[in-house]
Every structure is written in structure tokens, then in C-alpha cells.
Structure 1
Amino acid sequence: MALNPFVRTLSLVGFDAFASGQGLNPADMLRRASLPQDSPRQQDGIIPYRRYCELLQLCTAQSGNASFGLQYGLFQGIDVFGELFYLIRNVGTVGDALAELRANYFLYNGAADISFELDGDIARLGYLVNDCEIPGVRQAEELACGVGVQLLRALAGTGWRPRTVRLRHPPLGDEEVYRRVLGVRPVFAARCPELEFDASVLSLPLAAADARLHQLIAEHIARMERLPADELPSYVRQLLRSLLPSGRASVEKVADCMAVNPRTLQRRLEQEGISFQHLLDETRQEMARRYLDDSSISMAQIAGLLGYSDASGFNRAFNRWFGISPLKWQKNHASNRQPRLLRSRQANLGR
């Protein structure tokens, strides 16, 4: 199970529009959940999973809609995955896509895992939360089911429907609402939230699936092909911010996300007078300063979010970058003592 209790702010995509449609004031709901008001428009930040669940619970109570989480998930659909959606793209089958989702879900959510199982002619896609006692987690689990339904509709065709939907908890509202929005009445008090469906769907080739899915993939690849050279470093930084918490922020992984060869990526960066290692260090420094501003995040958690295996590795890197320990910097920050800037690009490239 995942141990990082944070999720990307991308998990709030579409929140302003959906909450407004439910008669809520989005900014007020975010404030009451102690979340920044610009969170729904920031894809690269992180928020505590506990506060994310608290937000869903507050919205449920304030709107009077017991199915708030489920309907919000259906509203978000595949947009909630952001760049992760391109990691699960492939030229194979629906089954390949779901396997990629399971393998890479940690890039999006550090507080839950995806399960994907085969049992004869039955397939199951589940959502496993590390801490099942968090207030509001039931809404989060129903939201995940809604997103899962929309993902499979995108992969297998809009006519896809689950054979069974299982939820860990009793009905949160009228069971008829579940049947209406999901197309099936869920099984409650189950072992874990999951979608059960015919395994034959897994062999469907993506080329014969949803046209929108392939249009998005084509647009992404085309974007990479025509990406201006001066925009390349910013795009790499964006991917690094997503990949660092997984500890897999390598040039190979970034290149894979961009659908280019690692050597090609390194050569294009060098043409811009910058190295991949410099971008990695620069991104880690930026994120470290931001996380150190939040006293609720421990040093061990910061180390994990930056892709280090332990806090000592993070401490050594921070000292090398700024000549000061992260703890001392955090204590001095109140008096506006800022770490010195990165060395010049040329200095880094000349190492």
C-alpha cells in the first residue's frame, strides 16, 4: 500500500464548475477545508489526502447531495489523470492500459493504490486506500468509482457498463440514484471499492475504442514534435514535479512520457544550454523550499516527495545546494533568510 499521504492538486480538476452547479461557493468550501483557493487550477501541487477527503465531506453536507463524490468523479472523468493519462496510453489493448494505470497510479495519488485482477472471465479494477478511517473517505472512494467508470468508457467505448460495482460502506443515499448514474445497483459492505466487468473487454484494441482517446494521444505526440526548443525545459520541469514523489524521475522515464528517445531529449536540452541533471536539481530545490514552508510536512515526507529514499539523502543534497541544513533554513525562514540561487547553467554544464 502507498505510504505518501498526499495527492496532486489535479485531483480537484473541475471542482469550481461542479461545486457551483451544486449550489456551493467553491472558494468557501476550499477555505473551510484549509486548502488554497487556487488548488483546482494548479496541476503540479500537492495537498494532504485527509484535507481532500474533508473537502468532499464538507461539500456533501453543505449541498445535501449524498452522491456528491460519485457524481463529481463522473464529472471529472479522464481529465483527472492529467499527464498520467499519457503514461497509460499504448497501442495495445484495454487490458494493457489498465495494467499501466496500476503501475503508475502513484504519480497521481500517494494515499491509495489501484488493484487490477483477473478471475476467469471476470476482471476487477479496485481502489485501495491506505487509511480507511479518514473522515470523508467514503466520498473519495465513490469518486474513484465514478472516475473508473468514465475511464473504461473512454477505453472500451461509451456503451461500456460494469457488471457489478462494489463499495465498502452502506448506501450514502437513495440506492436508486446509484443505479441511475452507474447503470447498476452497487453491492454494499464489500471488501473494497471495485468495478467488476467482463474480462473479454480487456482484449479490445484501443484503435477500435473511443475516438476522443486517440485524438488526445495524437495531440500530445504532435505537441511534443512541435514543442519550441525554449519551452522544452519548462515541460521537463512539469514532468519532474509529477515523477519525483515516485523516485522514478530519470531521464529515461521523462523521455518515455514525452514519447522521445532519451538521447534525443538530452541533446535538445544541451542545445538550450542546460542539462537534465540541472533541471532535476533545480526542480528539487524549488519543491524543497515550498514544502519547507508547510510545517505540517515532516522532513522524512519531504525527502520522499523529492524522490529520496531517506531524510539523510535530502539533508546532504540541501546542504550542498544552499550551505545550510533544511531544518535550520526552516527556522530562519521567518526572518526572510533565503537560500542562495542555483549556480549558473554554464557552471553546472561544465562539471
Structure 2
Amino acid sequence: MYDKYLILSDMSVIRSAGLRGFRATVAELGGDAEQLAVACGLPPAALDTDDLLIPDSAVAAVLELASHQLDCPDLGLRVSRRQDLDMLGPLALAIRNSPSLAHVLECLSRYLFLHARALSVTMEPDPYGDRRVIALRYGVAPGLPTPIQGTDLGLAFVHRAIQRLVLERYGLRSVELPYHPAAPIETYETMFGAPVRVGRPSAALRVPRSLATRPLSGADENLHRLAMAFLAEQSGGADAAIAPKVRAAVGQLLGTTPPEIGAVARLLTVHPRTLQRRLAAEDTSFATILEQVRRDAARRYLTTTEMPMNQIASLIGLGDQATFTRSARRWWGTTPTALRRDSIHRHG
């Protein structure tokens, strides 16, 4: 059932913002969100924070598992009601200040990968040949299984986002689904306010072509330009320094996924050997950056929290407290306990 998504868990990641609303929805249905998350290999912290990088296939799996265990075939639709554009971070600012829906789609096609590597939203010709209509196609990368609950959630999210951007009714012609859902079609038609067709080639919303050029109210051109510049800087180009991106990726992976060079290379869409060469050209290495990020994170946890030592060791990707203590002696010439005690004395 849900485990077919887990076998691809090392292929792509998504920000944990994609799970917004999951905990509340599961609780409403009488389930245990943390138990479901752990069953699919997700850290419970992913349920309550936006910026952990987690396998998108594990997100698909936990939605499917919750739907099955809680006998809730429209789980994805329910979770979508608790999500909004803000979950996209800086991308949301660019979208909200886009002058038209066409610009919104440009933002999504260029920068959605910053939120979810394998997802895309594209504007395509109408699959039925109606020149007055375009299809907003939503889905995972080719070759990956189509998750029903995840696709329901994503399509409903896009629908609700458009409603907010163009002020409610926008002329949705139909919703295209590439599967036969277990939930009644009437549930979907109530959610979307439009006919729903199943067994189609891909998931899509069919909308009037004129919608793409409709001006969006409240757009701020300066904010849009600033947000797009920030997104471009985040994504970087082929010639941009890669060490800061590696540092950021390692920081996000710590405590959730083993911070190995292969995992970081996948995040940055480069080959591990290419990554090593580019880091060497910048007079550093993956091992050096990993050591620095671990050291900085450990000092932050020791001096700003009361976390137990074994928990800190786990969060920075070290096997146990003994390894953490040896690393601390190498970094600071003292033990973690002594460093915490000295910090308390200095600031107490």
C-alpha cells in the first residue's frame, strides 16, 4: 500500500512545510500523527516545523498510511484546507506580488524545486483541444509513482491558492485525476466546485486561457523583483560558490537524514565527484564543512538549550555521547558538560 513510496525515499526531498496541517487533521480523526510519521521514517519534529528537508516519498507514504489506517479516503483534501501560500516561504512573497497568473506559474516552474525537488506545476494546452482553455498540470517527476493523497493535497492547494490570488471564482472547467480515488467523486466536486474526471493521463486543473493574463490585485512590483532576486540567489547558477550551499544543505540534513556527500549532492543536483572538485577549487572539502556545521550546531544547542547530551549527539549526526565528547575535546579542548557550565556562568 504505502510502502511502494518508501523504496524511493533517497531520490528527492521536500521541505517539511508540506506536512502543515497533517497533525491537526489526524488528531481530528482520532489518530496519532507522530506514530504514523515514525512508521514512515519521518522525524516527529517534521510535523511542527517548516524547514526540515525530508524525503518526499516518505511524505507521500505517511499520507497514504494515515488515509488507510483512519479510513479517510479524502485525507489529502482535508489537509489542504489547513495549508496556505505561506508554507512556500520566500516563493510565496514572489507569488503574492506577481502581476499576473502567468508570472505566478513562471515563479513556480523556476523555483518550486526549492520547496520540493520532484514536484512541478506547468501550463499546457487543453487535453481536449479547447483553445479557450489551458491545463495547469501538477505532478511528480516522470517515472515516480503517483501518490493519490499527495496529489489530492497538491491539486487542492493550487486551487485554493488561485482562489485567493484572483478572488474566489476563477472559472475552473474541470479537475483531471490520473487515478480512480476511493473517496466519492461528489467529495471532490464539492471541494473544487467543478466536474471531476478520473483515469486521465495526468493531474490537472482546466482553466480559462484568459486567466493567465488576468492582473492580480495587490501586487507590488518592487517586492516581486526583490523576492525573485532572492530566489535566484538561493538557487544559484553554475558559477556560483557552492560551499555556502553545501553548508546550508548539511545544516538542514542534520538530525533528519545522514549528512553524507551523496545526499547533499542530490539536493544540489550535482554529481558527488563534481561537488568534491568544486569544493576543492574553493579550498575546502565536504568533510571540513561537515565538521564546521556540526561544531557550530553543537555549541548552539549546548549554550542555548537544556537538551540532554545524547539528544544533541543525535541531532548533529554523531552516533553516541562518547563520540560527541571526543569531538568536543577536539573542537574546544574541553567536554560538552564543561562548555555548557562555563556558558551558564558567563551569562548567569
**Alpha-carbon distance change, 20 to 104 in structure 1, aligned in 2, over 3 angstroms:** same
Alpha carbons 2:105, 2:121 under 8 Å: kept: no
Aligned to 1:116: 123
Matching residue's letter, 1:111: A
Over residues 197-233 of structure 1, what are the superposed CA-to-partner deviations in whole Å (9 max), with x where a residue is unaligned?
11122222112xxx6xx5xx79x95xx9xxxxxxxxx
Q: Which amino acid aligns with 2:59?
A: Y
Note if 1:192 corresponds to 2:202.
Answer: yes
Q: Relative to structure 1, is the Cα distance of residues 249 and 108 closer, same or farther in structure 2, using a 3 angstrom cutoff?
A: farther
Show the counterpart of 1:312. Answer: 273
Q: Compared with structure 1, are the counterparts of its residues 145 and 290 closer, same or farther at alpha carbon in structure 2 (3 Å cutoff)?
A: closer
Q: What CA deviation, in whole Å up to 9, does each residue of 1:218-259 have, x standing for no partner?
A: 9x95xx9xxxxxxxxxxx9xx79x976x455999xxxxxxxx
Superposed displacement of residue 292, structure 1:
7.0
Residue 25 of structure 1 corresponds to: 32
For the aligned residue pairs, the C-alpha RMSD in angstroms reads: 3.9
Q: How does 1:98-117 map to 2 (within 5 A)?
A: 98-117=105-124
Q: In the TM superposition, what whole-angstrom CA distance separates every residue of 1:108-141 from its partner, at most 9, and x where no partner exists?
A: 111222221245211211113126654x811111
Q: Please show how residues 55-204 of structure 1 align to structure 2 within 5 Å.
A: 55-119=62-126, 120-130=131-141, 134=145, 137-204=147-214
- Matched with 1:270 is none
Q: Normalising by structure 2, what TM-score? A: 0.68
Measured in 2, the distance between the counterparts of 1:84 and 1:91 equals 11
Q: Give me the whole-angstrom Cα distance separating, in 2, the residues matched to 1:162 and 1:202.
A: 12
Tell me which amino acid in the other structure corresponds to 1:130.
Answer: A
Provide the secondary structure at the position in 1 that maps to 2:69: helix
Amino acid at match of 2:13: F
Shift in Å, 1:90: 3.7
2:124 match: secondary structure: strand
Superposition TM-score, scaled by structure 1 size:
0.68
> For 1:175 and 1:98, how far apart are their aligned partners in 2?
27
Question: How far did 1:101 drift?
Answer: 1.5
The equivalences for 1:30-69 within 5 A come to 30-69=37-76
Structure 1 unaligned regions, length at least 5: 225-235, 252-276, 342-351
**CA contact under 8 A between 2:80 and 2:154: conserved in structure 1?**
yes
Residue 82 of structure 1, CA deviation: 2.4
Compared CA separation, residues 19 and 189, structure 1 to 2 (3 A): same
Note if contact 2:175-2:194 (Cα within 8 Å) is conserved in structure 1. Answer: yes
Report SS of the residue matched to 1:126: strand
CA distance in 2, matches of 1:203, 1:92: 9
* Distance in structure 1 (CA, Å) of the matches to 2:109 and 2:251: 31
1:286 Cα deviation from its structure 2 partner: 5.3
Query: Deviation at 1:187?
Result: 0.6
Shift of 1:291: 3.7
1:302 aligned partner, one-letter code? V
Computing the radius of gyration from Cα coordinates, the structure with the larger value is 2
CA distances 1:9-31 after superposition (whole Å, capped 9, x unpaired): 11112222222223222222222
* One-letter code aligned to 1:42: T
* TM-superposed deviation, 1:4: 5.2
Give the whole-Å Cα distance in 1 for the aligned partners of 2:119 and 2:18: 13
What's the CA shift for 1:93?
1.4
The alignment partner of 2:82 has SS state of: helix
The question of 1:299 aligning with 2:261 is answered yes
> Per-residue deviation at 1:293?
6.5
Contact 1:15 1:40 in 2 (8 A): yes
Q: Which amino acid aligns with 1:311?
A: P
**C-alpha contact 1:70 1:146 (8 A) present in aligned 2:** yes
Gaps of 5+ in 2: 1-9, 295-316, 332-348
Q: Contact (CA 8 Å) 2:276, 2:286: kept in 1 or not?
A: no
Kept in 2, the 8 Å contact 1:153–1:161? The answer is: no
| Distance in 2, Cα, partners of 1:180 & 1:162 | 13
- Would the aligned equivalents of 1:167 and 1:193 in 2 still touch at CA under 8 Å? yes
